[in-house]
Structure 1
Amino acid sequence: MILRLGRQLTGRLSGQLSGHAHEPPAPAVPGEPLAEADGVRVQLGGRDVLAGVTLAARAGEVLALVGPNGAGKSTLLAALAADLPADEGVVRVCGHPTTGWSAPELALRRAVLPQSAALSFPFTVAEVVRMGRAPWAGTPYEDDDDRVVAESLAATEVSAFAARSFSALSGGERARVALARVLAQRAPLLLLDEPTAALDLRHQELVLRLCRERAAAGDAVVVVLHDLGLAAAYADRAAVLHDGRVAAEGAPGEVFTEELLSRVYRQRVEVFPHPRTGTPLVTPVREAG
């Protein structure tokens, strides 16, 4: 997927932003829905990829979207981001239908991390991260750019190669730089599609800790994950998607059951508590021998 400089980074902000659009959203009340899908149906290629999904992401929590390939996780994330229109139902961001927000206004309210990022031009790492500050161009908040970019580079552990070309990085390094761009945007709603997919063990943990930090600061974080262990350890709530529907939603300790996961993934699993933390551990049932 090409890094959406036009839509997500709002590079066409100049001359288009009204004074209202420049204003940051008011701080959210803990538990306030910052993204809502209400009966959302999305058709792609003549079939329902989402079939009437209702779900909310709330300020102060991490919501993990899990499920097998083709369950509709990335489609739901794209619908919540207003990058993919719903054929039926309503998507709201910060309490208002996404169709009522302009692109610049949305950029102040939600930041999106796609599954992969590619650039056709030789931008440096620091320049890519600075793109996350585009929504604040021409405002008093532009004065924070240098500080916010430096903090985002440091948080994702990419400061050491800030001057390198983005195209010269490894897949895992690119993933962390793309996350740094999202953090630099300082939006209260973060929508992250498989942010740990290309990362080693250390950086998987780093990314999920950053998600928890943003939630603790009052943001709503929606993250698509394949690793059920990471979802159980870091998410406040998990939505298990299956065939375009939410098969279960709630705390991972409540919804990660052997019966549900075995049915949804079509693979027998065992679920047992971690001996120290009590966090659910999910392992496939394997034949002995």
Structure 2
Amino acid sequence: MILKIEALNFAYNKERVLKNINLEAEKGKLITLIGPNGSGKSTLLKCINNYLVPNQGIIKIKNKNIKDFTKKELAKIIAYVPQASETKFNLNVFETILMGRKAHSGWKATQKDKDITAKVICEMKLDKIAFKDINNLSGGQQQKVFIARAVAQAAEIILLDEPTNNLDLKHQLEIFEMIENEVSTGKTVIVTMHDLSLVSRFSDRIIMLKDGCIYSDGTGHTLSASNINSVYGVEVSLKEHNGKKIIIPEKIYV
């Protein structure tokens, strides 16, 4: 197991957000965290990234307590892409992706760092915008660049917080194409998502959170109508397409 979480609890002030979280993650899997707003998805990613320190519990990376890593050591193992937000730095695409190499070389990029950045740009089909200002790109293009930065970081675990939020269908599929490529190379990718149909199509494993607890953990059975009703308070219809589920919201569950 590359990641193991044991009895994790986290609270903002006195409000408990995560309650006794236990999970393990294998290499080469796309794991999706789902649940309504406020269920603890983003908080869990931040704990895994050591951005937030749990009140109780242990997080182990490759059987080593996360507290025992230096920031630089951890950055070589975990890459984190937060929810899409406005950029506030004046860099072009190449420079932005090159930032992912800091964990390996510090502030002064080597020729190897530049070569790896150029390779990532070509592999992710960003060469046509490589020297455009990041602030002048669309939301979908920016998100692809931020994921490319995480790929250039060469981390074994990639954490993505709502990577397709507010993106059109084409950009959503492009993002998942990038994610699937990373998973195919043995990376462990953990994402948070709201679109349950996309979750069903692409996930190897689905973890459903409710009120800070793991409500269900598995594959297709997690997205049952009864689970969705209980967790989201919405009545849904389920359709099958190529062995995957399409979730159709019908009405608020009473």
TM-score (norm 2): 0.92
| Kept after mapping to 1: 8 A contact 2:6/2:22 | yes
Structure 2 counterpart of 1:89: 57
Query: What is the correspondence of 1:3-42 to structure 2 with a 5 Å cutoff?
Result: 33-42=1-10
One-letter amino acid of the structure 2 residue matched with residue 283 of structure 1: I
Gap runs ≥5 in structure 1: 1-32
Q: What CA distance in whole angstroms lies between the structure 2 residues aligned with 1:147 and 1:207?
A: 23
Give 1:62 deviation, angstroms.
Answer: 0.6
Structure 1 counterpart of 2:234: 267
Q: Comparing 114-123 with 83-92, which one deviates more in the overlay?
A: 114-123
- Per-residue CA deviations over 1:70-124 (Å, capped at 9, x if unaligned) read 1100001111111111100011122211100000000111111111255433111
Query: What is the correspondence of 1:72-87 to structure 2 with a 5 Å cutoff?
Result: 72-87=40-55
User: Percentage identity across aligned positions?
Assistant: 30
Give 1:44 deviation, angstroms.
Answer: 0.8
One-letter amino acid of the structure 1 residue matched with residue 184 of structure 2: A
Structure 1 counterpart of 2:93: 125
Structure 1 counterpart of 2:158: 190
Structure 2 counterpart of 1:47: 15
Q: What CA distance in whole angstroms lies between the structure 1 residues aligned with 2:104 and 2:17?
A: 35
One-letter amino acid of the structure 2 residue matched with residue 55 of structure 1: L
Matched, 1:282 2:250: no
TM-score (norm 1): 0.82
More strand by share: 2
Q: What CA distance in whole angstroms lies between the structure 1 residues aligned with 2:126 and 2:166?
A: 15
Q: Which of 219, 222, 229 in structure 1 is aligned with 2:187? A: 219
Q: Which of 86, 97, 101 in structure 1 is aligned with 2:69? A: 101
CA RMSD of aligned residues (A): 1.8
Is the partner of 2:247 in helix, strand or coil?
Answer: strand
- Per-residue CA deviations over 1:242-262 (Å, capped at 9, x if unaligned) read 1001100001x1211000111
Q: What CA distance in whole angstroms lies between the structure 2 residues aligned with 1:133 and 1:41?
A: 32
Following TM superposition, where does structure 1 have runs of at least 4 consecutive aligned residues deviating by more than 3 angstroms? 117-121, 141-144, 154-157
| Kept after mapping to 1: 8 A contact 2:42/2:161 | yes
| Kept after mapping to 2: 8 A contact 1:34/1:58 | yes
Gap runs ≥5 in structure 2: none
